[in-house]
Each structure stands twice: as structure tokens, then as C-alpha cells.
Amino acid sequence: MNIPIIESYNPEQPYTARLKKILEEYPDGTQVLREILQNSDDAGSTRQEFILDYNTYDAKCLLDENLAKYQGPALMALNDSLFRDEDFYSLRSLENSVKRRKFDKIGCE
């Protein structure tokens, strides 16, 4: 079993700010759900599930009190593919998707 090496990473822009900008760029409607399905397909998933969680969770033990507003409700998406090292790299490089060089992936440009 390979145990991943944990390393510190300090992005130039906070992930929350970058993700907010990405979501703002999507047109209204189902485009975000389609993107999740495309990512699932690119990863070779055979199953995709969406869970709408109406719960609101306790905010007493958060790392930052500003995260309290994200304690629910939420839409969760899960599939049966494995998260690879390449996927972690992509998260670290949100502005420069590695899919741009992969012509077998739906999300390539």
C-alpha cells in the first residue's frame, strides 16, 4: 500500500475564492451537475450519486468561525472512481487544468 506524502501548499488565491469564481462563471441551471457527471465519466466511474442534505450541522468546533455558514444544507456528489495523484495536482492548479492536454477527456479544450 502506498501512503501519500503530505506536503504543505499555499495557493496564490484561496480555494474558496477560486471555487466561487468558477461557480459564478457557470450559466444558471444544470451546468454544474453536468460538469460533475463529466468529471465522473473522465475518471472512469460506473456510478454517480447525488445526495441533497437538508441538515444544518453544529458549528462549534470549526477551524475558522467564518466556515459556520457552510454547515448545511448541501448537495453532495460521489462516484465509484479513485482519486489519483493527478487529481490532487489538478486541485492545486485550478487555473491551469491538466485536462487541456488530454484529448480523451470530455473537459478538454
Taking only the tens place, the pLDDT of each residue in 49-104 is 999 999 988 888 888 888 888 888 988 999 999 888 887 777 676 665 545 444 44
The Cα 15–Cα 77 span in angstroms is: 19
Paired with 77 in beta bridges are: 50
Q: What is the pLDDT of residue 103?
A: 44
Model confidence at 48, pLDDT cuts 50, 70, 90, reads very high
pTM over 0.85: no
Q: Is 40 exposed, middle or buried (0-12, 13-18, 19+ CB in 10 A)?
A: buried
